[in-house]
């Protein structure tokens, strides 16, 4: 691996090429640099290279980093959210990707209302249907989306998924396609209340495939910052 700056150059080149293959404009795709467990100095290096979107998994870490880095950035909360952490998450996050139940949506709505904020959210869909994974089962996606759409202080921007870890670039292509189809169908069938403009899918191992299948936001950590060390 190269420096953070060099890695970002490679990834942006890959993003451009994936867009070209898919007949999409590069401006349709946002790279989220997933900086969880990584020091502020790494984030500053990425900011220096022109990045403005960062993803964090842990509320504590998100809060600490947003307090330390005062640049005007977009912070994406992408990790599983517990209800007792919602208040802090709503204060610190620009957008919460990991809304995995109606009850957590209700809690976010309540905290957003207290702050006078309209909180942008994504609904996490369990595309692999594995029992152990977070996310709304795809068969319940429509019903749950419409229920969450009733909450006044939330704005549903779209869907996100975390499919099984990909063995190769193509392994999750059908899951990505399934999520794109869900998003298109919901926009078509419920155009009076839904305007879904974000699709958060694709990680280090498969972001190019996700872009080919319609991702608007790819979440890339390891390929930018290197392997994570959870023991530090």
Ligand X SMILES: *Cc1c(COP(=O)(O)O)cnc(C)c1O
CA angle 22, 26, 31 (to 5 degrees): 105
Residue placing its CB nearer to ligand X in the complex, 202 or 214? 202
Which three-class secondary structure state does DSSP give residue 109?
helix
Residue placing its CB nearer to ligand X in the complex, 9 or 189? 9
As measured in angstroms, the least distance from the Cβ of 172 to ligand X is: 12
Residue placing its CB nearer to ligand X in the complex, 166 or 196? 166
Residue placing its CB nearer to ligand X in the complex, 9 or 147? 9
Q: CA 196 to CA 177: how far, in whole Å?
A: 16
Residues that bind ligand X (CB under 6 A): 34, 36, 57, 78-79, 162, 203-204, 219-223
As measured in angstroms, the least distance from the Cβ of 160 to ligand X is: 8
Q: CA 111 to CA 116: how far, in whole Å?
A: 9
Taking alpha carbons only, the member of 38, 71, 39, 67 closest to residue 53 is: 71
Strands 95-99 and 119-126: parallel
Residue placing its CB nearer to ligand X in the complex, 187 or 205? 205
As measured in angstroms, the least distance from the Cβ of 7 to ligand X is: 11
Residue placing its CB nearer to ligand X in the complex, 35 or 119? 35
Taking alpha carbons only, the member of 177, 158, 174 closest to residue 99 is: 158
As measured in angstroms, the least distance from the Cβ of 116 to ligand X is: 28
Closest residue to ligand X in the complex (CB):
221
Q: CA 208 to CA 217: how far, in whole Å?
A: 11
Strands 53-56 and 74-77: parallel
Q: How far is CA 219 from CA 56, 137, 139, 170, in A?
A: 10, 21, 25, 17
The pair of three-digit structure tokens given for residue 7, joined into one six-digit string? 């890695």
As measured in angstroms, the least distance from the Cβ of 189 to ligand X is: 28
As measured in angstroms, the least distance from the Cβ of 150 to ligand X is: 26
């Amino acid at each position: 691996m190269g420096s953070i700056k060099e890695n970002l150059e490679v990834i942006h080149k890959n993003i451009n090429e994936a867009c070209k293959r898919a007949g999409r404009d590069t401006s349709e795709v946002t790279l989220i640099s997933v900086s969880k467990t990584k020091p502020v100095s790494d984030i500053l290096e990425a900011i220096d290279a022109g990045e403005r979107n960062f993803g964090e998994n842990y509320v504590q870490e998100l809060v600490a980093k947003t307090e330390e880095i005062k640049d005007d950035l977009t912070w994406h909360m992408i990790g599983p959210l517990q209800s007792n952490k919602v208040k802090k998450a709503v204060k610190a996050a620009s957008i919460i990707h990991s809304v995995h139940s109606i009850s957590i949506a209700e809690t976010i709505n309540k905290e957003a209302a207290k702050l006078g904020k309209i909180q942008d959210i994504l609904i996490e869909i369990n595309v692999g249907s594995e029992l152990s994974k977070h996310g709304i089962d795809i068969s319940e996606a429509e019903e749950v989306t419409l229920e969450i759409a009733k909450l006044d202080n939330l704005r549903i921007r779209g869907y996100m998924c975390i499919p099984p870890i990909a063995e190769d670039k193509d392994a999750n292509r059908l899951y990505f396609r399934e999520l794109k189809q869900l998003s298109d169908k919901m926009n078509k069938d419920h155009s009076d209340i839904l305007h879904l403009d974000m699709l958060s899918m694709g990680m280090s191992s498969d972001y190019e495939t996700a872009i080919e299948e319609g991702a608007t936001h790819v979440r890339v950590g390891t390929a930018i910052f290197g392997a994570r060390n959870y023991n530090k």
